[in-house]
Amino acid sequence: MKLEFGFGNGIQEVVVPDKNLIATLKANEMEHKRKGEDAVRYALAHPIGKGLLRDEVNAGEKIAIITSDISRPLPSYDVIPAVLDELSAAGVPDEDITVVFGLGSHRKQTEEEMRHLVGDAVFERVKCVDSEVDNCVHMGETKNGTPVDITRSVAEADRRICLGNIEFHYFAGYSGGAKAIMPGVSTPEAIQANHSMMVSEDACAGRLEGNPVRADIEEAGEKVGIDYIVNAVLDEHKNIVYAVAGDVVKAHRAGCEYLDKMYRVEIPERADIVIVSQGGAPKDANLYQTQKALDNAKHAVKKGGRIILIGSCKEGLGSAHFEEWLVNAPTAHSMIERIERHFQLGGHKAAAIAMVLENADIDLVSDMEDDFVRSIFLNPQPSAQEAFDEAFEKYGEDASVIAMPFGGATLPIARDLSL
């Protein structure tokens, strides 16, 4: 069978014998009643845990709409127009509205990128700014000691409307909800304190209850005050197929339930070889983002198996701390020991890769130099097909194979195993 995996703006093809392919993980078959902006407008007309947005805000209030930056797949241009219509219906003038891009730990954006994210009409209509880590307001601490330091444009607003997309997150359980605040518009110190809890066994993809990272995120959101959320669920092609609006927890949980129906996929067993991709641009621009697919793939591979990770990574590693950990580590295992001694943002993803390497080999098909890939403990491959051929020779003609074309979205659950 010929399989296709997104690679930057192109694809990588792999031919796998039918008898060896035990599963190709894609979204579960579902009929989506509404898509795109229609789904968003329906969600706003049928809020969960809140009244209509137009009834929750008042004329004269300063409104901050927090949305995703260029590294995230949320099509803000399909979400914000409907939100602005609700605000207009409440009598809020455009000059009292600011769209804030939550950069988290990511780089600042260009004006062109901001315009692309929200669309020309929105960009010309309301003020659009990046969050600023050097201009924040301290709003307290969570019980775990996470400082709630929030970019001023959000902290000083009268109302905060958080946008986002809901997908599996490898230690926050799911994205979306209060994550627009923490880490979206928080400081590196706050993000580091929150993410340090990733070492907990309960901090894993698909888990909300008892997840210390998610609980800390939502406590930070409570301290800041989130008046409304609009969250979207996307298909493999990054199109909105479902949306929720309303209360930051109740609406978010409804969105998570829908995501589970789409992407939580049962597999008959773990495989010798797992071929996985983020699905292409923009989610495989660097290894920092591509790692998300790798972390989901670890749930599908046998101990001693091989993961073939496909991602352009044309921008390199994507994080200075991530690079420092990977490049300077004497061994992969040393990064696990280091994260146990001292959590560092960026280093946490290096340690996560090392944790996968404890149980499986990792091939990387990317645009990075081979020698550099070897230096960070991964095995470079010129193509996905050549990587598979080599793995197939190693594991033999009876090797089992699982394909994950949208690895960051699909969460494999083995029938005899739990998360």
Share of the chain above pLDDT 90, in %: 83
Region 2-28+264-414: CATH code: 3.90.226.30
pLDDT digits (tens, 9 = 90+) for 54-108: 999 999 999 999 999 988 889 999 999 999 999 999 999 999 999 999 988 788 8
pLDDT band at 195 (very low <50, low <70, confident <90, very high): confident
Q: Does residue 417 surpass a pLDDT of 80?
A: no
HEC profile for the chain?
Answer: CEEEEEECCEEEEEECCHHHEEEECCCCCCCCCCCHHHHHHHHHHCCECCCCHHHHCCCCCCEEEEEECCCCCCCHHHCHHHHHHHHHHCCCCHHHEEEEEECCCCCCCCHHHHHHHHCHHHHHHCEEEECCCCCEEEEEECCCCCEEEEEHHHHCCCEEEEEEECCEECCCEECCHHHHCCCCCECHHHHHHHHHHHHCCCCCCCCCCCCHHHHHHHHHHHHHCCCEEEEEEECCCCCEEEEEEECCCHHHHHHHHHHHHHHEEEECCCEEEEEEECCCCCCCCCHHHHHHHHHHHCCCEEEEEEEEEECCCCCCCCCHHHHHHHHHCCCHHHHHHHHHHCCCCCHHHHHHHHHHHCCEEEEEECCCCHHHHHHCCCEECCCHHHHHHHHHHHHCCCCCEEEECCCCCCEEEECCCCC
| pLDDT number for residue 84 | 98
pLDDT band at 196 (very low <50, low <70, confident <90, very high): confident
| 29-33, 154-158, 194-198: least confident range | 194-198
| pLDDT number for residue 419 | 43
| pLDDT number for residue 345 | 76
pLDDT digits (tens, 9 = 90+) for 133-181: 899 999 999 999 999 999 999 999 999 999 999 998 888 999 999 999 9
pLDDT digits (tens, 9 = 90+) for 259-276: 999 989 999 999 999 999
Fold of 36-234: Rossmann fold (3.40.50)
286-308 mean pLDDT: 95
Domain ranges in the chain are 2-28+264-414, 36-234
